[in-house]
Chains A and B, each alone.
Chain A
Amino acid sequence: GESVGLHLPTLSVQEGDNSIINCAYSNSASDYFIWYKQESGKGPQFIIDIRSNMDKRQGQRVTVLLNKTVKHLSLQIAATQPGDSAVYFCAENGSGNTGKLIFGQGTTLQVKP
């Protein structure tokens, strides 16, 4: 079945270091991927997205890398700050035309001061 998974449930990093959060997806037909950040008590917040015709996309302090060969997605956060502490989800659009997003289980990022 379709699934999107993250490799690590929790990632702990030192403030100022770079963070890398990984995600594996299973549906080869997915052509749109999104990273969301969810802080405690809030809804998922869009961070960055990428389409399958790209390998890399950069935003402010964040970079998403897509490796379609191994169906792998990663989110890189530069100079991680305490405010980056949250649960990060990757999502894919799957193969149907329903607009549904398929979410991974999430990785908790803990930033140590």
Chain B
Amino acid sequence: EAQVTQNPRYLITVTGKKLTVTCSQNMNHEYMSWYRQDPGLGLRQIYYSMNVEVTDKGDVPEGYKVSRKEKRNFPLILESPSPNQTSLYFCASSSYGTGRDDTQYFGPGTRLTVL
């Protein structure tokens, strides 16, 4: 089954404790992206990656890092989480840039709470 998976689905942590949210897709997509979803603010892009070893900032990149060492994986790293990073996070992937299909397919989400 074609899908985007994220882990963990739920996470409660404390300020300053480094964490990683993993994202993996099995659709051989070149493009991957992270969004956060907050009430009243909708979905906002954090980082994106056009292909392996190519990443760039989205609209709200502060406090986050990403890496793209393999095509299928795109982990989101919070080096020193703060309470304002409490949010619902989504990973997405697509064939954007290849001329095939720009549709982005989303993972199930990771609900993060930073105390």
Q: Do they bind each other?
A: yes
Binding site for B on A (CB under 8 A): 32, 34, 36, 41-46, 49, 89, 91, 93, 98-101, 103-106
| B42 CB–A CB distance under 8 Å | yes
Contact with A along B99-111 (1 / 0, CB 8 A): 0001111111100
- Contact residues of A: prevailing secondary structure: loop
Q: Are A98 and B58 in contact (CB under 8 A)?
A: yes
Report the bound CA distance from A95 to B50 in whole Å: 17
Q: Are B42 and A89 in contact (CB under 8 A)?
A: yes
- Contact residues of B: prevailing secondary structure: strand
Q: Are B109 and A43 in contact (CB under 8 A)?
A: yes
Q: A43-B90, A99-B48 are in contact. List 5 more A-B contacts (CB 8 A).
A: A43-B106, A49-B103, A91-B43, A98-B56, A99-B33
Note all chain A residues with C-beta closer than 8 A to B106.
36, 43-45
| CB-CB nearest in chain B for A101 | B104
Contact with A along B1-41 (1 / 0, CB 8 A): 00010000000000000000000000000010100000010
The count of residues in chain B whose C-beta lies closer than 8 Å to any C-beta of chain A is 25
Using known A-B contacts A99-B102, A105-B40, determine if residue A44 contacts B90 with beta carbons closer than 8 Å. Answer: yes
| B96 CB–A CB distance under 8 Å | yes
Note all chain B residues with C-beta closer than 8 A to A103.
42-44
Binding site for A on B (CB under 8 A): 4, 31, 33, 40, 42-45, 48, 50, 56, 58-59, 90, 94, 96-97, 102-109
| CB-CB nearest in chain B for A49 | B103
Report the bound CA distance from A91 to B105 in whole Å: 13
Using known A-B contacts A34-B103, A49-B103, determine if residue A100 contacts B45 with beta carbons closer than 8 Å. Answer: yes
B47 to chain A, nearest CB (A): 10
Using known A-B contacts A34-B103, A93-B102, A99-B94, determine if residue A43 contacts B108 with beta carbons closer than 8 Å. Answer: yes
Please name 14 pairs of A and B residues whose Cβ atoms are closer than 8 Å in the assembled complex, sorted by A. A42-B108, A42-B109, A44-B106, A46-B104, A49-B103, A89-B43, A93-B102, A99-B48, A99-B97, A99-B104, A100-B48, A100-B59, A103-B44, A104-B42
